[in-house]
Amino acid sequence: MEEALWFKGIQAKAAALAPTLKRPVFDKIDSRDWDLELGARDQTDPELAIPPEFAHQQLLQVGSLTRSRNLCEDLRAQGVIVCDWAEALEKHGDLLQKYFGQAVPIDENRLTAEHAASINNGILVYVPKNVAVKEPITVAYLQDASKKQDFVEHVMLIADVNSSVSYMESLATIGAEANTASIVVEVIARAGSQVKYAGIDRLGQKTTAYIKRVAKISQDAKVDWALGMLSDGKILGDFDSNLIGTGSKADMNIIAITIGDQIQGLNTVVNNYGRKSVGHILQHGVILQRSSLIFDGIGHVMKGAKGADAQQENRVLMLSRAARGDANPILLIDDNDVFAGHAASVGRVDEQQLYYLMSRGIPKKTAERLVIRGFLGPVLTRVPSADVRQRLFAMVERKLIDGQDME
């Protein structure tokens, strides 16, 4: 079909470009020896057992297969589109062709080019002009690690003029084979639109992943990010909000927990292009055992963005002397009449807080989890959806217990 041909052309171009491009480089995040190359292909078993917690998603994908779709009739009647990648190419190729690559160009770096050349599943979400989606759209992407194969997902979320939508995704792994994951998300927030984007990542211990989430935000539009980086393997996360239009806004709220000998490097960027644009970054992370967590936060106010506001806070809490944590705030200001600020800290758990809780009869491991909850609280309370907050709390508790069991 014609719609598929244009995309095949993009994939061929990306495959040719990839060897000529360099990997992304982030301050204090050394991923040079990570196995992020794509190339392992296989077919997901359609009978692979699904954990019960993912049974009731509006769209469920397992590896290269789509297992279920449950879009309600009210959304269909409003013209809302939620479909997998194959259906998007077949039925909505005009939308994909118009917006694909606007937020994440295929030639941005070697990993984005390899991703574009290797996409084997994904999703298109489109909300028409002036449509307000009242209930969250929930999706789950499960990596099939029962065999050797790449997990390559592409998400296109397009909120048209003056629309609003809440979108919640879960990333998880089934199986224990060592594999590579490449996840790219493009959010297109057109003028006056409102997007609430929540992601809870829990990829497996033997997964090495490149996760890139980018929003292109137009005049008076707003994107609220709530990301729980709770995977167990090596993670290179690259999260950007490009504030293109006057009055555009982005809130980037991120929590991360590392355990064992895991490494997570998270590069979070807000680029203020528009006048009176507002971009805030709030990142809190917790490190256990011998793991490492690096936060790079960058606020860049471009020339011409008068009245812009760029603020960030990056904080890391270490529960082990063998752990490594970095919080690196960077402000780049290319114009006057702007508001900008940053805060950063890396420190150990407050022994007096632990002593106080334990003196009240609370076991040490439980006391540690309570302190951690308090540390993550400022981020979690800013998550606009009560359902997302509840799920994040539950996943945080699960990962902390897993981490303590390793001790």
Give the pLDDT band of residue 54 (cuts 50, 70, 90). confident
Residue 367 pLDDT more than 50?
yes
How far apart CA 271 and CA 223 sit, in angstroms, is: 13
pTM, rounded to two decimals: 0.94
Computed over every residue of the chain, the mean pLDDT equals: 92
Residue 119 pLDDT more than 60?
yes
Residue 368 pLDDT more than 90?
no
How far apart CA 193 and CA 323 sit, in angstroms, is: 41
- Stronger pLDDT, 323 or 211, i.e. the higher one: 211
Average pLDDT of 338-367? 87
Residue 403 pLDDT more than 80?
no
Interval 181-212: pLDDT, tens: 999 999 999 999 999 999 999 999 999 999 99
> What is the reported pLDDT for 310?
96
Give the pLDDT band of residue 163 (cuts 50, 70, 90). very high
> What is the reported pLDDT for 1?
43
* CA–CA–CA angle 206, 184, 226 (5° rounding): 85
Q: 184-205: buried (b, 16+ CB within 10 Å) or exposed (e) per residue?
A: bbbbbbbbbbbbbbbbbbbbbb
Average pLDDT of 151-158? 97
> What is the reported pLDDT for 9?
95
